[in-house]
């Protein structure tokens, strides 16, 4: 017999109760004189077990029973001491029932098939059994009814009026989809503020395919609220062509994780009996017998219990078997990550324990951390304070982006109680170089954890934003620009590459020019990245001071703005000296205070040309261009988009689609093309929703556009 280990109330509520009850009445006197009825054992204060029961004398409940009238044997060993407490427990506690009915289209299948039958026996029988179940509720109890498919519909809020529940059940109708987990979470939210005992009874015949929550999230939310779920699987049958139809493990996991019990009805004929069993097991019965059991700390251990009573010379006996596979504390871990990280910075990230760790008991675990190795690089485990010393943890980088942490029989420096997070150990990561804002995350999982007994492990991941910043940008203009004598010279001032169009942009610069050869005419921002920003221009002799306050740049081209100069009239070609000075460029993440980016700026461009009157007009060197795709965004309805582009024919070109990680999704066009404008079509298939990059390359020139795809 091993040492008993005290467990907290919240841990034991999650124990699985598998109860097999049957009555043996070999009484010395006629068995009809007395009857021993037992209810569902209560393990809330384990290792103390509470057995609700009643003794009937010709249907009258006895409440003057003594502990010496009873003996309890567990696995053949007599349990002492035994205490008895009687009272009118039936009327003392109000119970709030929340009934959840699956109304997905599969409820209209003929039983044992996947053939639809809108007048199916299964659908009609399921509704009628719910209606009969409402009638079995006690007068002081409350009931609520909701139907769920891909959505959730509250048919009737909590009420003591059984007729309202019956009318609501009659009006339910079938709808597409099945969202079991979200239905449980929604029912918990409706029930969480109800006083006293609360239970959820759920009927389903399908497999979850629409929930916004995961199975473990639904279990954890119900368990934290102390609301057990009693799922009923209707018509669950093996289907060799669709193995997912057999999902009994999911319903058992929901029941065990919340403190309820799972039931399975092969056909609708079994529903009435099962419904009666559930209602009967939920109600408390007359008296309570208490005894303490040794904690064997074995997963899946079964215990045979025999309760014997000698009531006025009549021998009564009842047996049951219970299984407690979760004689374990719960351990939940998460990585504590700031919501925003800066590119190229190093961060310490504590791994927090939020469950229960007992001091004085050795701890062993195996955990796994997954992260995007394109965004982050693991450096080391910190030697600083933590519940587990870093030297006691073995860290293995199984592959890029996957870390394994193992500890074997290490003694924690302190205990951790429920609701009091504490630092288990701390990791150090370096954020890799990024030119733009990126969204990523880390996912923590626990393979196993034990502390004398096996623990119930869980883990939570975290999403965060990396604030990227280009280290260097290039600003300037083409030094081969030219115009005829007396003509207008358009100078595009370019900012390339690395501008992040998901961040705000501000800049200022001074443009110096020879005012004896050209005069300033105006500035145009149409079709440039500054088109929707406020441009301030101050004119001085021979210079322009141009500044733009923070604003959202437009992803149209690499041009900041166009400056127009009027050239003097001259017979000879003239060189005009032009320069840019006093430059500052800054970007900041929209909505993130204090996350600014100030890249270094490289300048280019120092001259322009004026041709004499006898010299033909020199034109700008042709360059490729890429238009915004249409339509944008692409949706599941449009399916495809058209992309127009222009090439010069000077060098081979390539038009391709990249994902957010820079990986090539599809090459649309490539090769050497004649100069001209072309249109390509992209039909995205088999890829997730997101922002993709369309890239046109011709020689050394690159043009890009963002494409939004939503499924």
Q: CA nearest 676: which of 643, 710, 649?
A: 649
pLDDT at 678 over 90: yes
In a domain, residue 118? The reply is yes
Identify the CATH number of the domain in which residue 307 sits: 2.60.40
Euclidean distance between CA atoms 85 and 89, whole angstroms: 10
Element (H or E) spanning 352, and its range? strand 346-353
The fraction of the chain above a pLDDT of 90, given in percent, is 35
172: containing domain: 94-282
Q: Convert 633-669 to b/e letters by CB count within 10 Å (16 or more is b).
A: ebeeeeeebebebbbbeeeebebbbbeeeeeebeebb
The fraction of the chain above a pLDDT of 70, given in percent, is 84
The dihedral built from the CA positions of residue 532, 533, 538 and 541, taken in this order, carries a sign that is negative
Euclidean distance between CA atoms 708 and 353, whole angstroms: 39
Phi/psi for 62 (5° steps) reads -85, 135
Residue 542 CA: distances (Å) to CA of 249, 395, 480, 518: 80, 64, 20, 9
pLDDT of residue 523: 95
pLDDT of residue 583: 94
Q: Are 499 and 587 in contact (CB under 8 A)?
A: yes
Instruction: Return the beta strands (E) in 161-297 as ranges.
Output: 197-204, 229-234, 263-265, 287-292
Report angle CA 668, 671, 672 to the nearest 5 degrees: 135
> What is the token pair recorded at 54?
């009643």
CA terminus-to-terminus distance, the chain: 60
Question: 277 CB contacts (<8 Å, ≥6 apart)?
Answer: 263
Question: For residue 268, what is the DSSP state?
Answer: G
599 or 536: which leads in pLDDT: 536
Average pLDDT, the chain: 82
> What is the token pair recorded at 607?
């001259």
Euclidean distance between CA atoms 600 and 585, whole angstroms: 8
pLDDT at 544 over 90: yes
Euclidean distance between CA atoms 54 and 70, whole angstroms: 12
- Banded model confidence at residue 242, pLDDT cuts 50, 70, 90: low
In a domain, residue 270? The reply is yes
pLDDT at 401 over 50: yes
Euclidean distance between CA atoms 518 and 299, whole angstroms: 89
Let me know whether 131 and 187 are in one domain.
Answer: yes
Going by their DSSP bridges, the two strands 340-342 and 462-467 should be labelled as parallel
pLDDT of residue 382: 86
pLDDT at 618 over 50: no
- In this prediction, residues 9-36 reach a mean pLDDT of 40
Question: For residue 12, what is the DSSP state?
Answer: H
> What is the token pair recorded at 150?
């891909």
Residue 663 CA: distances (Å) to CA of 653, 658, 694: 18, 5, 12
Of 580, 611, 642, the one marking the end of a domain is: 611
Let me know whether 530 and 417 are in one domain.
Answer: no
Looking up tokens 């449980």 gives 184
Let me know whether 274 and 193 are in one domain.
Answer: yes
Let me know whether 227 and 134 are in one domain.
Answer: yes
Phi/psi for 196 (5° steps) reads 80, -155
Q: CA nearest 450: which of 258, 298, 257?
A: 298
Q: CA nearest 666: which of 695, 709, 691, 689?
A: 695
Of 198-212, 262-276, 688-702, the least confident: 262-276
241 or 459: which leads in pLDDT: 459
Euclidean distance between CA atoms 200 and 202, whole angstroms: 6
Let me know whether 247 and 377 are in one domain.
Answer: no
* CB atoms inside a 10 Å sphere around CB 518: 24
Read off the pTM. Answer: 0.40
pLDDT of residue 360: 84
In a domain, residue 3? The reply is no
Q: Are 267 and 60 in contact (CB under 8 A)?
A: no
Q: What is the DSSP code string of 643-658?
A: EEEEE-SSS-EEEEEE
Residue 174 CA: distances (Å) to CA of 71, 284, 611: 52, 35, 80
pLDDT in tens, 464-483: 888 888 888 889 988 778 78
Let me know whether 441 and 498 are in one domain.
Answer: no
Q: Is the backbone peptide bond immediately before 636 cis, with ω within 30 degrees of 0? A: no
- In this prediction, residues 133-155 reach a mean pLDDT of 90
> What is the token pair recorded at 273?
């009996």
Euclidean distance between CA atoms 372 and 374, whole angstroms: 5
> What is the token pair recorded at 349?
């990230």
Identify the CATH number of the domain in which residue 482 sits: 2.60.40.680
Q: Are 592 and 465 in contact (CB under 8 A)?
A: yes
Let me know whether 509 and 603 are in one domain.
Answer: yes
In a domain, residue 2? The reply is no
pLDDT at 615 over 50: no
* CB atoms inside a 10 Å sphere around CB 153: 16
**Three-state SS at 251:** helix
Q: Are 577 and 547 in contact (CB under 8 A)?
A: no
Question: For residue 109, what is the DSSP state?
Answer: B
pLDDT of residue 56: 62
57 or 434: which leads in pLDDT: 434
pLDDT at 138 over 70: yes
**Three-state SS at 694:** strand
> What is the token pair recorded at 24?
């043996």
Let me know whether 630 and 523 are in one domain.
Answer: no
Euclidean distance between CA atoms 342 and 588, whole angstroms: 12
pLDDT at 24 over 50: no
Identify the CATH number of the domain in which residue 656 sits: 2.60.40.3080
Residue 254 CA: distances (Å) to CA of 260, 274, 456, 639: 8, 17, 14, 39
**Three-state SS at 529:** coil
* CB atoms inside a 10 Å sphere around CB 233: 24
Euclidean distance between CA atoms 263 and 273, whole angstroms: 11
- In this prediction, residues 79-91 reach a mean pLDDT of 71
pLDDT at 87 over 70: no
pLDDT at 93 over 80: no
pLDDT at 111 over 70: no
Q: Convert 457-471 to b/e letters by CB count within 10 Å (16 or more is b).
A: bbbbebebbbbbbbe
- In this prediction, residues 479-489 reach a mean pLDDT of 84
pLDDT at 272 over 60: yes
In a domain, residue 620? The reply is no
- Banded model confidence at residue 98, pLDDT cuts 50, 70, 90: very high
Euclidean distance between CA atoms 46 and 48, whole angstroms: 4
In a domain, residue 652? The reply is yes
Of 282, 313, 342, the one marking the end of a domain is: 282
pLDDT at 3 over 80: no
In a domain, residue 427? The reply is yes
Euclidean distance between CA atoms 461 and 698, whole angstroms: 43
Euclidean distance between CA atoms 155 and 567, whole angstroms: 79
Euclidean distance between CA atoms 202 and 184, whole angstroms: 8
Q: Count how many domains the chain has.
A: 5
Q: Is the backbone peptide bond immediately before 631 cis, with ω within 30 degrees of 0? A: yes
- Banded model confidence at residue 65, pLDDT cuts 50, 70, 90: confident
- In this prediction, residues 606-622 reach a mean pLDDT of 65
Let me know whether 580 and 521 are in one domain.
Answer: yes
In a domain, residue 245? The reply is yes
Q: Are 195 and 150 in contact (CB under 8 A)?
A: no
pLDDT at 17 over 50: no
Let me know whether 527 and 568 are in one domain.
Answer: yes
- Banded model confidence at residue 120, pLDDT cuts 50, 70, 90: low
Q: Are 233 and 264 in contact (CB under 8 A)?
A: yes
Q: Rg (Cα) of the chain, in Å, rounded? A: 37
Identify the CATH number of the domain in which residue 221 sits: 3.40.50.410
- In this prediction, residues 653-676 reach a mean pLDDT of 88
Of 34-43, 174-183, 385-394, 497-506, the least confident: 34-43
Let me know whether 540 and 517 are in one domain.
Answer: yes
Q: Convert 567-583 to b/e letters by CB count within 10 Å (16 or more is b).
A: beeeeeebebebebeeb
- Banded model confidence at residue 547, pLDDT cuts 50, 70, 90: very high
Let me know whether 266 and 378 are in one domain.
Answer: no
pLDDT at 29 over 50: no
């Amino acid at each position: 017999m091993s040492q008993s280990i005290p467990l907290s109330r919240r841990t034991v509520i999650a124990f699985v109760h598998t109860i097999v009850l049957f009555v043996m009445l070999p009484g010395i006197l006629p068995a009809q004189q007395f009857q021993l009825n037992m209810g569902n054992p209560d393990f809330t204060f384990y290792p103390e077990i509470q057995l609700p029961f009643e003794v009937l004398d010709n249907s009258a409940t006895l409440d003057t029973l003594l502990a010496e009238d009873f003996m309890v044997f567990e696995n053949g060993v007599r349990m002492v001491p035994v205490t008895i407490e009687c009272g009118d427990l039936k009327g003392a506690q109000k119970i709030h029932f929340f009934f959840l009915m699956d109304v997905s289209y599969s409820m209209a299948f003929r039983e044992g098939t996947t053939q639809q039958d809108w007048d199916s026996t299964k659908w009609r029988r399921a509704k009628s059994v719910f209606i009969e179940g409402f009638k079995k509720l006690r007068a002081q109890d409350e009931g609520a009814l909701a139907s769920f498919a891909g959505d959730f519909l509250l048919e009737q809020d909590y009420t003591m009026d059984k007729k309202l529940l019956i009318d609501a059940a009659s009006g339910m109708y079938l709808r597409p989809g099945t969202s079991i987990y979200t239905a449980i979470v929604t029912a918990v939210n409706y029930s969480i503020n109800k006083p006293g005992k609360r239970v959820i009874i759920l009927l389903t015949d399908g497999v979850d395919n629409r929930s916004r929550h995961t199975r473990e999230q639904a279990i954890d939310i119900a368990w934290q609220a102390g609301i057990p779920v009693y799922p009923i699987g209707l018509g669950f049958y093996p289907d060799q062509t669709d193995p997912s139809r057999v999902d009994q493990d999911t319903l058992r996991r929901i029941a065990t994780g919340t403190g309820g019990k799972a039931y399975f009805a092969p056909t609708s004929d079994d529903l009435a009996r099962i419904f009666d069993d559930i209602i009967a097991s939920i109600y408390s019965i007359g008296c309570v017998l208490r005894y303490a059991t040794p904690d064997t700390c074995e997963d899946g251990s079964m215990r045979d219990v025999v309760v014997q009573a000698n009531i006025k010379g009549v021998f009564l006996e009842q047996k049951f078997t219970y299984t407690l596979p979760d004689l374990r504390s719960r351990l939940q871990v998460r990585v504590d990550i700031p919501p925003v990280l800066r590119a190229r910075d190093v961060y310490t990230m504590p791994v927090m324990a939020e469950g229960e760790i007992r001091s004085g008991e050795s701890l062993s675990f195996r955990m796994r951390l997954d992260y995007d190795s394109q965004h982050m690089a693991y450096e080391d485990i910190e030697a600083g304070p933590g519940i587990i010393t870093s030297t006691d943890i073995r860290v293995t980088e199984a592959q890029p982006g996957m870390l394994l942490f193992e500890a074997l029989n290490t003694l924690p420096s302190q205990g951790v109680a429920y609701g009091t997070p504490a630092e288990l150990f701390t990791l150090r990561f370096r954020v890799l170089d990024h030119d733009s804002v990126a969204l990523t995350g880390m996912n923590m999982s626990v393979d196993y954890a034990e502390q004398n007994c096996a623990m119930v492990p869980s883990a939570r991941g975290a999403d965060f934003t990396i604030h990227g910043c280009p280290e260097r940008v290039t600003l300037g203009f083409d030094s081969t620009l030219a115009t005829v004598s007396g003509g207008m010279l358009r100078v595009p001032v370019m900012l390339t590459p690395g501008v992040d169009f998901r961040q705000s942009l501000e800049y200022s610069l001074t443009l110096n020019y020879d005012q004896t050869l050209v005069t300033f005419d105006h500035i145009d921002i149409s079709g440039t990245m500054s088109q929707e920003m406020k441009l301030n221009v101050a004119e001085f002799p021979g210079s322009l001071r141009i500044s733009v306050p923070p604003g959202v740049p437009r992803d149209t081209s690499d041009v900041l703005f166009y400056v127009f100069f009027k050239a003097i009239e001259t017979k000879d070609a003239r060189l005009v000296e032009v320069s840019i000075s006093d430059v500052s460029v800054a970007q900041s993440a929209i909505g993130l205070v204090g996350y600014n980016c100030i890249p270094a700026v490289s300048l280019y461009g120092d001259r322009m040309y004026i041709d004499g009157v006898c010299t033909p007009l020199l034109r700008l060197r042709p360059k490729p261009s890429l238009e915004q795709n249409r339509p944008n965004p692409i949706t599941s309805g449009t399916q495809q988009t058209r992309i127009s582009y222009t090439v010069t024919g000077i060098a081979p070109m390539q038009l391709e689609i990249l994902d957010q990680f820079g990986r090539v999704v599809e090459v649309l066009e490539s090769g050497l093309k004649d100069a001209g404008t072309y249109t390509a079509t992209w039909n995205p298939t088999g890829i997730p929703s997101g922002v993709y990059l369309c890239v046109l390359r011709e020689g050394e020139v690159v043009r890009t556009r963002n494409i939004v795809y939503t499924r």
